[in-house]
Amino acid sequence: MGKNNDKEWFEAHRDRYDTALENLTDVAATLIDAAARYDEAVAGLDLDPKKCVSRIHRYMRPNRSYPAPASGDTVGRPSVRACF
CA–CA separation, 20 vs 25, rounded Å?
Answer: 9
Q: Which residues contact 76 (CB under 8 A, 6 or more apart)?
A: 66, 67, 68, 69, 70
pLDDT at 10: 85
pLDDT at 3: 77
Summarised one tens digit per residue, pLDDT across range 12-70 is 989 999 999 999 999 999 999 999 998 888 888 888 888 888 766 655 566 666 555 55
pLDDT at 16: 93
pLDDT at 28: 92
